[in-house]
Amino acid sequence: MISPLSHIHPGAKIGENCTIEPFVYIEDNVIIGDNCHIMAHSSILSGTRMGNGNRVFHGAVIGGIPQDLKFVGEDTTLEIGDNNTIRENVTLNRGTASKGKTVIGSNNLLMENCHIGHDSVLGNNCIIGNSSKIAGEVVIDDFAILSACTLVHQFSHLGCHIMVQGGSKATMDIPPYIIAGREPLHYCGENIVGLRRRGFSNEAIKNIHQAYRLLYEGTVTAGLAKIKETMEMTPEVQEIVDFVEKKSERGIIKK
C-alpha cells in the first residue's frame, strides 16, 4: 500500500491501511492516521497531524511553513481531523507563535488550488471552493460554503451555515445562517435551502429571518437590543446574538 517510489522519513508515523502513491514526499515529525490515501506528487511536511480517512490529491502541499515574515522557525503544527477531501494543489500552512497551530476539522471538502493560511481554524462539514484563498488567523465555523475564488481577509470570522457567492472578497465578518454576495459583500438573505437540507425547521428559519430583520433595521446595537427584548432566545437566535456581540471583531457585513 506504500509505493517504494515515495520518500517517507523514518521519523514519520503512518497509520494502518494507508495508501501512499509514487512520488509522495513525507517529512519527519508527521503523523498520519489510519485509512488515509495520499496521492502522487503530494507533500506532507513537518508538523502535520492528520486523522483517519483523509484523501490528499495530487500536488497538494500540507503543513508548509507560514507565509508570514514574523515566522522564525518556531515549532508549530497543522492539525487535521478525519474524512477530509483535500483536492489537487491545495496548500495548508502550519501555525506561528501567534496561536501555535492551524486547525482543519472533519468532513470538509477543500477544492482544487485553495489555500488556508497560518493559525486559521476551519470547522466541520465545510466546502471551500476552487482557488479560494483564506488568509492567516481566520475562523470559519461549521457547514460554511465558500464558492470558487473567494478571498477572505486575515482575522475575519465567518459564521456557521453560510453561503458565500463566488468571487467575493470578505473583508468583514459574516454572521451565521446567511447568504453573502454582491460587491462589496453584503447580506443577501438567509441560506434557506442549506438550512432546510440540514434539518432546520420552518419555525427555526422563521426565527432566523426575524432576527436579521431586526438586526439590520437600524444600527446593529439597536437591532441587538430589539432582538433581546422581543424574541425568544432559541439556539439559532442566541448564535446570531453571540456572534455579533462576542465573536465578531471586525464588524459584520452590511445589508
Q: Is residue 105 annotated as a catalytic residue, yes or no?
A: no
Residue in 33, 68, 105, 119 annotated catalytic: 119
Coil, strand, or helix at residue 183? coil
Angle at 141 between CA 135 and CA 219, to 5 degrees: 90
How far, in Å, CA of 143 to CA of 206, rounded? Answer: 19
Residue in 118, 129, 161, 181 annotated catalytic: 118
Q: Is residue 136 annotated as a catalytic residue, yes or no?
A: yes
Cell of 208: 432566523
Q: Is residue 119 annotated as a catalytic residue, yes or no?
A: yes
Measured between alpha carbons, how far is residue 16 from residues 48, 137, 184, 221 in Å?
17, 33, 48, 53
Element containing residue 54 per DSSP (H, E): none
Closest by alpha carbon to 187, among 243, 143, 253?
A: 253
Residue in 51, 53, 63, 136 annotated catalytic: 136
**C-alpha gyration radius of the chain:** 20
- The partner residues of 116 in beta bridges, in order of sequence, read 92, 134
Closest by alpha carbon to 106, among 163, 42, 52?
A: 52
- The partner residues of 92 in beta bridges, in order of sequence, read 62, 116
Catalytic residue ranges: 118-119, 136
